[in-house]
Amino acid sequence: MALRIWLFRLLLFLFIYYAYSSIRAYWRLRKFKGPWSAAWSNFWYIRASLSGKAHIVLSEVCNKYGSIARIGPNTLVTCDEELFKKINSIRSGYVKSDYYKAFRFDADRENVLSTTEPERLSYMRKRVTAGYSGKENVYLESDMDRALWNLFKLWKEKYVAHGSKFRRMDLARMMQYLTLDIISALSLGEPFGFLDKDEDLYEYIETLTGNFPAMTFMSAVPILSRLMRVPSVQRALAPSVKDRIGMGRLKAVVREKISRRFSGEKDDRQDMIQSFIKHGLSQGEIEDDSMLQIMAGSDTTATILRVAFIYIISNPRIYRELQRECDAANVPENEIITNERALQLPYLIAVIQEALRYHPAASGHGPRIVPPQGDTHNGVYIPPGTVITVCTWNTHRLNYDAYGEDADVFRPERWLEASPERLARMEKAHDLVFGYGSFRCLGERIARIELHKVLFELMRRFDFVLLNPMHPLDNDVNYGIFLQSGLWVRVEERKL
């Protein structure tokens, strides 16, 4: 009897505590509109994150409830450009949320993505900036060129169609192989060899695709995000170098390649690893940074390339104009275009600018925490400790104020036809594609050079036909990054 009374009192206490905390949380953000259930529970946000269409769901929320809307008891979403800049500016006082803790590769060590402490983040970014910028990597373009030559060789041997002979190729998978080989060559000094083998080495892509929903779930649930900070828990859940496949196996390969540079053998290669060593990074820190580049740099760049090709191939006007410009550049057949030369091709640049803003590759929302003193934006007070995420889909693709009434249309010409005032407005908005301030993407320059080279060379050397223009991708889901597959095309070699 006493036990039952004790249990009743415990349950009553828990109920009262839950009711009190729910009402208190609701009251703090009562000024902000949003889905009704989101004000009382994180379930709405968790379900949206796991839907694979979070970018669309959050876009609909912003369209319905305004540029700052409520999507959780303590969470807001915004598509306001100025607020985006504020929460990412260097001295804003905003910090990264626990969401990022799910992306720590080593239980005892933070990396530049997972760390949430501002001073530590600033210190880590300063030490890797020179390596990412390419200033201390003389092989930046030549490594990209080598991967492109490998791609051409593979296509000519296995996938190029001749006359009536039918061959199909998954351009989505090919773009991922290419970006993985490029980023591994840059970050490790040698490519993994996805293009040489023409296969998903270590089942990395398959494993990552399968695991991202779980990673998204862990990062979207506050209590699980905090749990992931416990070293013993992370050691148990994180991929192990003893794994035979997947991210753990890739981690082992990265560790083996990096360890060679610390083995004492003379190596004069002036590349990204050497830059990191020069600026004081330990072997473990370089391993973590290489894993981060491989995960973040390959998928996002591959996404932009896929999107660009879908809209180029499916639009004859864009296709003809881009190919005409590439042909007129008169780059010798036995050479890959340099980035300096690519920057002189206005339509190529316009297509890439349009692809970057029309389908933003990184849409993990970048949650930030309001500083202890709170914040006021456009006269509205935001309480301290509130988490604010960003709807990149609205900030870029549906930004009618910046890009005009046809912002929801893929139209590269907008960058060439705009008045000086309109162009300045578009460039101001587009500057946010790679983030802002202290959280701006470190790999921006690498990504832009890669996009210039790949898009130019593939358009001048090959012709493409979509095999399913009404449904170009077999799979296109979003879990912070886009997981895309099945972009089936017929590809033919052009005479140069």
CATH code where residue 141 lies: 1.10.630.10
Residue 1 lies in a domain: no
Residue 455 lies in a domain: yes
Residue 468 lies in a domain: yes
Spatial CA neighbour of 172 closest among 52, 54, 349, 313 = 313
Q: Beta strand 375-377 with 488-493: parallel, antiparallel or unpaired?
A: unpaired
Residue 40 lies in a domain: no
Number of CB atoms found within 10 A of residue 157's CB: 9
Spatial CA neighbour of 105 closest among 244, 247, 220 = 247
Instruction: Tell me the β-bridge partners of 463.
Output: 492
Number of CB atoms found within 10 A of residue 113's CB: 22
Alpha-carbon separation of residue 467 from 29, 232, 304, 309 (angstroms): 49, 49, 20, 13
Residue 418 lies in a domain: yes
Per the CB < 8 A criterion, the answer to whether 69 and 34 are in contact is: yes
Alpha-carbon separation of residue 13 from 3, 25, 248, 355 (angstroms): 15, 18, 44, 54
Rounded Cα–Cα distance for residues 398 and 406 (Å): 9
Residue 148 lies in a domain: yes
Rounded Cα–Cα distance for residues 335 and 496 (Å): 12
Q: Beta strand 475-478 with 380-382: parallel, antiparallel or unpaired?
A: unpaired
Output the pLDDT for position 399: 95
Residue 34 lies in a domain: no
Burial of 422 per CB tally in 10 Å (0-12, 13-18, 19+):
middle
Rounded Cα–Cα distance for residues 264 and 253 (Å): 19
Rounded Cα–Cα distance for residues 336 and 391 (Å): 37
Evaluate if pTM is beyond 0.85.
yes
Output the pLDDT for position 365: 67
Instruction: Tell me the β-bridge partners of 347.
Output: none
Q: For 443-455, b where at least 16 C-beta lie within 10 A, e where not — what string?
A: bebbbbbbbbbbb
Rounded Cα–Cα distance for residues 248 and 256 (Å): 12
Range of the domain at 458: 79-493
Split into its structural domains, the chain has a count of 1
Residue 73 lies in a domain: no
C-alpha 429: how far from its chain's center? 18
Output the pLDDT for position 264: 67
Q: Radius of gyration of the chain from Cα atoms?
A: 24
Output the pLDDT for position 427: 96
Start-end of H helices in 242-359: 246-261, 272-278, 283-292, 298-313, 316-328, 339-342, 346-358
- The residue ranges of the chain whose pLDDT is under 70 are 1-3, 8-10, 12-22, 25, 107, 222, 225-226, 228-229, 264-268, 364-365
* 62 appears as a binding residue in the annotation: no
Rounded Cα–Cα distance for residues 277 and 271 (Å): 10
Return the structure tokens found at 55.
């970018």
